[in-house]
Structure 1
């Protein structure tokens, strides 16, 4: 953690909705004139797309049926922690981009499924913003969570997370339901060991809960809409949070525990704006007092 060079970290698994949360942060940064240095979690995968496919075949032949993008073996956890540590100390660090598709290929000048070269972050940023799989990961040898000043978990209930992943991978990536299901099953041990534990490290968790039947996510024809959902917002340390104000500003919201507020799904962006804006401004004000 750093007063002079704060870090905000968004953690969530594939299909959880971290990209939507990033857009809310971008809107807050724009409105409050905050300059963020953006870091993508995919940049710290160990293998590019072709290498990962080759490694998966190799591991399967060895009898490893659970080789996944979630594990320490397939990610550069040490490099990610170094980036967080370097930024906290100096306000800079090194990252790269993973090129997902043709649109990004045109933007970054590299083939889809590959990485760009490592390069330094932009200078003179107000804070670092990370969004990806491992924003609060802790292992026996790495502790990324300790370096972030504000850690956010994006955690739909598991059936909803699977529905979102199924729809995204089928519609945008051309995968079959069977292929996506195989991926979910293959990732499960690493999901349990390296994704779930992060959400005890996070300062705030946003968990979307559908109010429609998602009993069998593998046959769901549509993703439940925000209007068909509630969101549970859990704050690790509720001290200083004005819950009466939030309840008055967010129609239909209520407290389920002393540190948890439940809102209608369509009010998520409003709730995030109300909760996160003061926290971001506190980080910036704390930074400015050190200069």
Structure 2
């Protein structure tokens, strides 16, 4: 953790909705005139898409479980921790971009599933913002979570997560439904051992719960909308959280536990604005005082 150079991380699995939370943070940064260095977690994958495919096929031919992006073997987790450490110390560090889609490939001239070159973070930023799979990762070799000042978890119910992933990967990334199902199955060990434990380390978790039938996610024609969902917001430390204010401001919200508030899904952006903006104010105020 760093008072002068704070780090904010949004962590969650593929298809969980971390990108939506990223957009909310970007809106807050813009409104509050916060100059954030933004890092995508996918940029710390170890292998290109073609290299991953080859490694998985070789493992399966040998009767083994192929590696997945959820696990540390397929990611540069030591480099990620090094980035967080360097930023917390001196607001420096290196990152790169992962070429997810055709739009970014056309813009960069690089093939989909590859990486741009490593480059230095911009100079003079107010904070580092990370969005990806491993913002709160702890293993026997790395402790990424200890460097983060504000940790946000995004963890929809598992069937909803799968529906979102299926629709995104088939419609936006060109995968077949069968290929996406195979990926989900191959990732399950790493999901249980490396993704789920992170949500016990986060300061705030946002968990979307659909109120429509998602019992068979592999045949769902549409992703449940926010208005067809409730969102459970859990605070690791509820001290200092103004729950009466949130209940007044968010219509139909209610407390389910002493550290949890439940809101209509359509109010998610409002809730994130109300909850996260004061936390960013606090980080920036501490930074100004330290400088």
TM-score with structure 2 length normalisation? 0.98
Would you say 1:202 and 2:189 are equivalent positions?
Answer: no
Q: Which residue of 1 aligns with 2:74?
A: 74
1:157 matched to which residue of 2?
A: 157
Task: Provide the rounded CA distance (Å) in 1 between the counterparts of 2:163 and 2:101.
Answer: 22
1:107-141 Cα offsets, whole Å, 9 max, x none, are: 33422211111110001000000000111100011
Aligned to 2:183: 183
Q: Is the 8 A contact 1:4 1:290 kept in 2?
A: yes
CA distance in 2, matches of 1:178, 1:48: 21
User: Is the CA contact (8 Å cut-off) linking 2:57 and 2:66 kept in structure 1?
Assistant: no
C-alpha displacement at 1:170, in angstroms? 1.3
Count of residue pairs the alignment pairs up: 291
* CA–CA distance in structure 2, aligned partners of residues 226 and 47 of structure 1: 34
Alpha carbon RMSD of aligned pairs, Å? 0.9
Residue 65 of structure 1 and its aligned partner are, at CA, apart by 2.2
2:212 match:
212
2:38 partner SS: strand
The match for 2:103 is 103
1:238 corresponds to which residue?
Answer: 238
Shift of 1:66: 4.1
Residue in 1 aligned with 2:284? 284
Q: Could you say which residue in structure 1 is the equivalent of 2:171?
A: 171
Task: State how far apart, in whole Å, the 1-side matches of 2:76 and 2:63 are.
Answer: 24
Counterpart in the other structure of 1:192: 192
1:62 aligns with 62
> By how many angstroms is 1:84 displaced?
0.2
State the match for 1:40 in structure 2: 40
The unaligned stretches of length 5 or more in structure 2 are: none
Deviations 1:69-97 (A, max 9, x none): 11111000100000000000001100000
CA deviation vs aligned residue, 1:217-246 (integer Å, no higher than 9, x gap): 111111111111000000001111100000
Unaligned runs of 5+ in 1: none
Query: Residue 172 of structure 2: SS of its match in structure 1?
Result: helix
Task: Tell me the distance in 2 between the aligned counterparts of 1:290 and 1:64.
Answer: 52
CA distance in 1 between counterparts of 2:78 and 2:66 reads 22
CA contact (8 A) 1:66 1:188 kept: no
2-side partners of 1:212 and 1:106: how far apart? Answer: 38
CA distance in 2: counterparts of 1:102 and 1:282, whole angstroms: 39
**Partner of 2:152: helix, strand, or coil?**
strand
Helix, strand or coil at the partner of 1:129: strand
Partner of 1:130: 130
Partner of 1:25: 25
